[in-house]
Structure 1
Amino acid sequence: MVTKSSFPDIDVPAVDVWGLLFERKDRPFSDNKVIYVDPETNRSYTFAETKKAAIEFGKGLKAQWDWKKGDVLALYTPNSIDTPAVIWGTHWAGGVISPANPAYTPAELAFQLKDCGAKALVTQKAFLADARAAAKSVGLSEKRIIILGDERDDKFKHFTSIRNLSGATRYVRTRVNPEKDLAFLVYSSGTTGHPKGVMLSHRNIVSNLFMLAAGEGNNLSSEGGPDGKGDKLLAFLPFFHIYGLTCLIHYAFFRGLTIYVMAKFDLERFCSIIQENKITFAYAVPPVVLQLAKNPVVDKYDLSTIRMMSSGAAPLTREIVNALYDKRNIKVKQGYGLSETSPTTHSQRWEDWQTAMGSVGPLLPNQTAKFMSADEKELEVGETGELWVKGPNVFLGYWKNPEGTKNALTDDGYFKTGDVGFQDKKGNFYITDRVKELIKYKGFQVPPAELEGLLVSHPDVDDVAVLGIYNEDQATEVPRAYVVPKAGVPGTPETGKRIADWLSSKVAGHKRLRGGVRFVDVIPKTASGKILRRVLKQQAEAEEKKVKSKL
């Protein structure tokens, strides 16, 4: 059964991201509206200051390197209030942004730089060593490494110096085709071990901003909030992730909302910023919601100005929602999306946060969706299957990966999400499982095959499989390795720690084996050699039950 969104269709303008944000005629806030604030330094950007910085940076790119339409600029940086100007300056110059996780090792960053063909790399001083190592390995000149943020290094150009290049004023904005030209090339981990470049057009992003606005309704606005001066958001979600990239950087600017930008999440600082600045709304992830509900350090702070939180990136249970509301009187609604959908496809209405608890809400405007059986037959309301989604927010395909694109997109434009769920009679969607084997650690994707490929090269490992094991204390999956040790190697805790520590030195922090190492006699596989993860997961669940029964 095909479901059409219950929201009225939106007439999405045929403009690029720059045209929507900076050239619209219906902007409901002034040029001097403050949008981005660094709560640690009080440095900020208004709408006008962001526009000026972006244009100057875009002109600088053209003057410095003859920047052309389609050239890719990679970001390797924690959250910064300078990031939006760099992004939109690159768009002004016709370029594409490819954000990378700042926790990446040089090897992981190098893969992305090479795959996307980055012409320049923006980072921060504290990340220069890894950025230089990655750039060197792919032949990217150090002269094309740019620093943003408050710290500088005399050997490298700061983004402000790119903005102030002499002779840059003669350049004009590069025009792009919103339907076909890319705005972002974000990387989404796949079960093959190598991340895939997700091609997001300008139209994809523009469409999703209008869809988000419909989902939030008039609840968030530049004049809203308890004091009538506009809603204030707290931004800790990483800007390199599509969730933070669209829902925070772009959506705040589109709606004239002020966001206080955290470089990284810290619970106590998170609470103090809310109290000091009277934050009214925050996008979150389940582990943070859990900490707010249970950590006693939160008791020291007044969070009463929060009118609503919205959780995404991973499932959030009814128990956690209730725990936060009972303890702090904070309401949490849910949403759903993927990198391939720009990202948001579903969002609970504010008034339904309690009545539709556990769901991700209704389908947002301009989309259709259906749940499909394993043999790709349409299912009825209430029946469980894989979610397929179609709309103007659905990506163009995977970068230089026609086979992956063919497997993900149908001929008539549906994206096969790989997530399993159902919808109820009221039109609320529920996500219950994943077809894909990705592990989601606090919203970050961890491809098991990548870790397995590394672990099998360890001298103590004969065979290995990596699974996501749900950790109740953290409210997230954590990676755990099931290892068949080499003959003569003892399957002891010391051996397991040695293997886990070895892997930690080779991967980003979110890919570490927080679920530990377990030793087994054999990894269950099919006749063709494919790991039977479901069988192994059942064994793992049986082990967990046995351990709990002894406690």
Structure 2
Amino acid sequence: MNSWSTLQLGLRIVKNGRRTYRTMTSRRVGAVQKWTSFSNESARNLSTQEQNVVKSPYPDISVPDITLVDFVWDMVDKFPDSTALVCSLTGRKYTYAESRAIARRFAVSLRKAGFKHGDVIAVVLPNIPEYLHVLFGAIEAGMVVTTVNPGFTSDEILKQLRDSGATGIVTISEVYPNVSKAVSTLEAERKRRIPVIITPGLEDKTIPQGTINFQEMTHKGIDTSNLAADDRLSADNVVVLPYSSGTTGFPKGVKLSHRHLVTNCLQVLSEPKLNSPVRASHGCQEVLPALLPFYHIYGLLSLAIGSLYYGQKIITIPKFEPVHFLSSIAKNKATTLYLVPPLIHFIASHPDVKSSYFESVTLINNGAASVGLNDVERLLKKAPHVSFSQGYGLTESSPVACILEKGSTKYTSSGKPIPNTEMKIINMDTNMNLGPGEAGEVCIRGPQVMMGYHNNPQATAETIDSSGWLHTGDMGYYDEESNFYIVDRYKELIKVKGSQVAPAELEDILRSHPGIADAAVIGVSDQRSGEVPKAFIVTKQEELTEDDVKKFVAEKVSQHKHLKGGVEFIAAIPKNPTGKILRRKLKEMYSK
């Protein structure tokens, strides 16, 4: 077995963003319902206005009316000299005071460069300390940050730059070749220059010609004393624009405000019954290895926003390499790990992963997808002193909706709704709410639910109904104690190692091949990746081979989107009368 050298994290969830659609036309049939207060008397905390709605069992929280910048730097004055960020590869490190100062200097330089309030800046970076300097500097300058997977191809980067309307880009020299191709195309379309800023990377490399040096934009001589707060900046402004495929279709920008992210962070961290790290105090600072990518909402909230707010030391890990990952945990005496199922499987199953690596670890959190009970049990055999937790959510819910309680051994559950949150299960055919133990679509309502999709009111209305319920497309149920279980997905997305792959995106590429008449893509089970894409092809020419199709797709998309589930040639794609692909039929064909 060579999983030691070949396991890939690849957590590349495509994301989204939008502005201020909040009360939308419902895609469902049913009366508009008011969001009312609920009783805490019943075990399930059901709404008195709507049957079988599960209200959070925890007290509601109050959310301060502040921006994300003010929120995350709360610890600067208390612990200015505490280490905030360390690069596990290069050793670059910054204190809280240094990080705050660099971010402010970057904000000043962005304004001087002509960037305006509401402009979108694309951050195409791996996990390095400077990611957070860029993120919070741009936010303080009044900009919106769209987070882009640095592993994307130039075509994928171009699509997100176009859709988000990005007017500037931040990247590293190692990623610049793909960024440059995308920017050249976009500049030709817009007939104007798009600035590209280069931060320190993973190696000492020359700054590409024609780009802007991040270090020159953040040198100590820059005066920040006149960095007045933008009076247009409010907690309800869009602040980040991650991309997600939502329940179906192409990646869409998810519009999340300062308030969304501050709220979700406090919902998770403020309830003592939930597993969360300890806030910094004199003589106590938690250490978090940041392997989950910051461009993904899970990594962004847990490892960037929440960790800075809690005054923790963040060890940035740009890519997954088994020896380096494990040594980073042991060397830095990590206390909390945020993981995804492939990483848990790796830790649990690989014989070279010893208990000694986790002596300092007290908490392991799983997210992005459900983990198998067998892997959890094997993990806890290697680290029996560790508390295990997992949660459920999606980019559109900022992302967390429910979390497993501290001490719970219901390891297949994602736990109960977090404070200020309601959840329910509905029958997708009748739109009726279902009771405990009945499987249906998971719906979420709470202050963390997104504003909507960027420039896509139709997709927004199809996802958030007129009562404020976010329809997730995931199938699950809840038990008598209000613990939710995610068992399957109604949605068509394929999850490869926790990363979303939209079938529609691959189908569009396949149909562009001159030898392909029609195509459909489904996810098929894979022991290592969870799922992988499989294509069904109707050909125009008989000589087309499986390898031809695989190579055609591989040249256009990231590795996690490759057709590793294979290619099958069929006479016709099964569709309903309106032309919608019947993926269940394809899955039945595959399973026979």
Answer yes or no: is the 8 Å Cα contact 1:272–1:301 preserved in 2. Answer: no
Answer yes or no: is the 8 Å Cα contact 1:268–1:297 preserved in 2. Answer: no
- For residues 46 and 454 of structure 1, what CA distance do their matches in structure 2 show? 46
Taking the TM superposition and a 5 Å limit, the aligned residue runs for 1:107-256 are 107-139=155-187, 144-150=195-201, 151-153=205-207, 155=209, 156-164=211-219, 170-190=226-246, 193-214=249-270, 217=274, 219-223=276-280, 229-256=284-311
Q: Provide the residue aligned with 2:3 in structure 1.
A: none
Gaps spanning 5+ residues in structure 2: where?
Answer: 1-51
From 519, 531, 537, the counterpart of 2:587:
537
After superposition, give the CA deviation of every residue in 1:420-451 in whole Å (9 maximum; x if it has no partner). 11111111111111121011111211000110
Query: CA, structure 1 residues 512+51, in 2 after alignment: closer, same or farther (shift >3 Å)?
Result: same
Q: Provide the residue aligned with 2:36 in structure 1.
A: none
Q: Provide the residue aligned with 2:555 in structure 1.
A: 505
In structure 1, give the amino acid aligned to 2:197. Answer: I
Tell me how far 1:90 sits from its aligned partner.
0.9
Which secondary structure does the structure 2 equivalent of 1:430 belong to?
strand
Which secondary structure does the structure 2 equivalent of 1:351 belong to?
coil
The CA RMSD over aligned residues, in Å, is 2.2
Query: CA, structure 1 residues 426+468, in 2 after alignment: closer, same or farther (shift >3 Å)?
Result: same
Answer yes or no: is the 8 Å Cα contact 1:293–1:328 preserved in 2. Answer: no
1:6 is the counterpart of 2:57 = yes
After superposition, give the CA deviation of every residue in 1:86-134 in whole Å (9 maximum; x if it has no partner). 1111111111100111121212111211211111100110111111111
Tell me how far 1:152 sits from its aligned partner.
4.2
Taking the TM superposition and a 5 Å limit, the aligned residue runs for 1:437-448 are 437-448=492-503
Answer yes or no: is the 8 Å Cα contact 1:421–1:431 preserved in 2. Answer: yes
Query: CA, structure 1 residues 290+192, in 2 after alignment: closer, same or farther (shift >3 Å)?
Result: closer
Which secondary structure does the structure 2 equivalent of 1:126 belong to?
coil
Tell me how far 1:284 sits from its aligned partner.
0.7
After superposition, give the CA deviation of every residue in 1:279-321 in whole Å (9 maximum; x if it has no partner). 1111111011111111233249632222221111112121221
Aligned residues: 530
Answer yes or no: is the 8 Å Cα contact 1:191–1:447 preserved in 2. Answer: no
Which secondary structure does the structure 2 equivalent of 1:125 belong to?
coil
TM-score by length of 2: 0.85
Gaps spanning 5+ residues in structure 1: where?
Answer: 543-551
- For residues 300 and 408 of structure 1, what CA distance do their matches in structure 2 show? 44
From 349, 361, 364, the counterpart of 1:309:
364
TM-score by length of 1: 0.91
Amino-acid identity (%): 35
Answer yes or no: is the 8 Å Cα contact 2:268–2:276 preserved in 1. Answer: no
Answer yes or no: is the 8 Å Cα contact 2:247–2:473 preserved in 1. Answer: no
Taking the TM superposition and a 5 Å limit, the aligned residue runs for 1:313-462 are 313-329=368-384, 331-352=387-408, 355-374=409-428, 375-462=430-517
- For residues 256 and 55 of structure 1, what CA distance do their matches in structure 2 show? 18
After superposition, give the CA deviation of every residue in 1:515-550 in whole Å (9 maximum; x if it has no partner). 1222333322223322110111122223xxxxxxxx
In structure 2, give the amino acid aligned to 1:485. Answer: T
Q: Provide the residue aligned with 1:290 in structure 2.
A: 345
Query: CA, structure 1 residues 211+99, in 2 after alignment: closer, same or farther (shift >3 Å)?
Result: same
Answer yes or no: is the 8 Å Cα contact 2:414–2:485 preserved in 1. Answer: yes
Q: Which has the higher helix share?
A: 1
- For residues 453 and 367 of structure 1, what CA distance do their matches in structure 2 show? 37
In structure 2, give the amino acid aligned to 1:153. Answer: I
In structure 2, give the amino acid aligned to 1:465. Answer: A
Structure with greater contact order relative to length (CA < 8 Å, sep ≥ 6) = 2
Answer yes or no: is the 8 Å Cα contact 1:2–1:378 preserved in 2. Answer: yes
Taking the TM superposition and a 5 Å limit, the aligned residue runs for 1:86-105 are 86-105=134-153
Tell me how far 1:197 sits from its aligned partner.
0.8
- For residues 404 and 245 of structure 1, what CA distance do their matches in structure 2 show? 24
